[in-house]
Amino acid sequence: MEWWIWLLAGLLLLLAELVTPGGFYIIFFGIGAIIVGILTGFQAAGPTWFQFILFSIVSVLSLWLFREKLLQLTRARSSDGSTTWWAKPPCCSKTYRRTVSARRKCAAPRGTHVTSVTNLSLAASVVELSASTA
C-alpha cells in the first residue's frame, strides 16, 4: 500500500481519538499507522500483507506499553489519593471539578449531571481553567 495512505489513516485515527470519549485506545492505532507509513515511504515495510501485520504488532505493542502511562499523565492526584478531572458537561457553560476516590464515586454540584468527557473537551477545559486562573 502507498505510504501516504498509511499516514492519512494514522492522522484520521488520531483525529478520531480527539472526538471520542476518553480511554486512549485509538491513538495507538494512529501511531501504528503513521510508523508503518514512514517505513513504507523508505521501502522498509515490505509487501502489503506484511505492512498490515506490522501495523497490528506496532499498534497493540504500543497500546500495551504506553496506555497506562498516558492515563496517569492525564490524571491529577491529590494528597488523599483521589483523582481529579476537570470536566465541562456538554449541556452547560460551567466547568466542574470531578473528584473520584475510593470513598465516593463522583463529586459534582448537586443537580448536575456530568456525562462522558471527550479528550477534546478535557483539553478545552484545562485551557479554560488556565486562562481563568491567569
Q: DSSP characters for 20-68? A: SBSSS-HHHHHHHHHHHHHHHHTT-S-SHHHHHHHHHHHHHHHHHHHHH
What is the reported pTM?
0.59
Higher pLDDT, 36 or 111: 36
* Beta strands at 76-77 and 83-87: parallel, antiparallel or unpaired: antiparallel
Q: What is the pLDDT of residues 57-103, one digit of tens each?
A: 999 999 999 998 888 887 766 566 555 555 544 555 555 555 554 44
